[in-house]
Structure 1
Amino acid sequence: MSLTLYIHPLASFCHKALIALYENATEFRSVTVDFGHPGSAAALLERWPVGKIPVLHDADARRTIPETSIIIEYLQQHYPGPSPMLPSDEEACLQARLWDRFFDLYVSVPMQKIVTDRIRPEGSRDPYGVAEAHAALDTAYAMIDGQLSGRRWATGDDFTLADCAAASALFFASIVHPFASDQAHLQAYLDRLLERPSVKRAIGEARPFFGMFPYRDAMPERYLSI
């Protein structure tokens, strides 16, 4: 098997790459990285010294591919499947890339700020930064709710790279910063994502690790049976 994906099952960016792989039934091997274990982390750091996951290694091509968006585009170029993650139309492709970046930068990043601050040692927390992250999610949610009006998926009728980015980002963000009651388009979109088989599989594989999630106490009950 040529492809190896280095992941952690709780990492939202890892879910993004997994969803794309599952959408196309692409064969790969996953390796869970334990950053608390030097031997486990060493295998990843040898491939990508930055140490961020996920990282894809293609043994046949002797290539290491980091960064989720690049991983998904690499898979489409070299291991295409029945469900393209980037549209062939140039304008539609640009929109998919735009909303992919939006979900990564304006949902995942502030969500991770809120989550990681909870596990910081006393005296080193950043309440101002956390408040900024909550405000950023308010803005992002309002924009997504508007974008989803009249659309099934992030950019239209087709499930794309942008929806891979949205699925896990919104799953975890909705726990740490729930949607407003009037954001019906956003809530319906997340509900559709959570019914998608590829998304259900990625989140289902993470379920045994939910106890490690710093906001496990705030998880809606229905998230435990997806």
Structure 2
Amino acid sequence: MQRVAVSGASGKTGWRVVEEALQRGMSVRAIMRPESTLPPALAAAERDQRLDVQRLDLNSGEALLHALKGCTALVIATGARPSINLAGPLQVDAAGVQSQVQACRAVGLQRVVLVSSLCAGRWLHPLNLFGLILVWKRLGERWLERSGLDWTVIRPGGLSEDDGRAEAEGVVFTGADQQQNSSIPRRLVARVCLDALESPAASGRIIEITSSPDQPLRSLQQWLEASPVQAGST
């Protein structure tokens, strides 16, 4: 059975990735900060030993290596939180991704899906007022692209907490640097990340996603089959 590690598992996107993976019958290892907590349903899954939870500081190299051993894939759902610390995006979205990539290589974990952001790498964007977050997200993407690992970058639009939208909206899929705005529920982002793990054609690609009630329902695999292969780097 595939064992999927999810870093940032207590975050708003991360815990949804964990929940969706469990619903698909996957073996899941949730990686989270020692002080973080899981939603009640996932906390119950941990108590029932249906979910393996590793609490650690991602800056601890040895602890991260231990957490990734035995896993076959990693979804990186870490992200800098709003803070007065303007170095946070550099530390989390660039250096933090680099550390996770290096740990994957060290333990032989090959398949990695990174949750990034629409407009990653763009300088002239309001989000960059928060510590140049889009610039550092693009650097994190590049660390992964150049790692030699089997990678996919998912760039979602504005993230919505409304899970109800996930049942009523279709995903708008494009390649890199083709979308600039619009939103998507975090629940759909989680599902696309897991679909990417199961889709060999998603390897080596940057995939931008938003959603709309006017968009026909279409799976990632269907879009991949219909879209031309593009280079991952931009």
Alignment TM-score > 0.5, same fold = no
TM-score (norm 1): 0.35
TM-score (structure 2 length as normaliser)? 0.34
Which has the higher Rg, Structure 1 or Structure 2? Answer: 1
More helix by share: 1
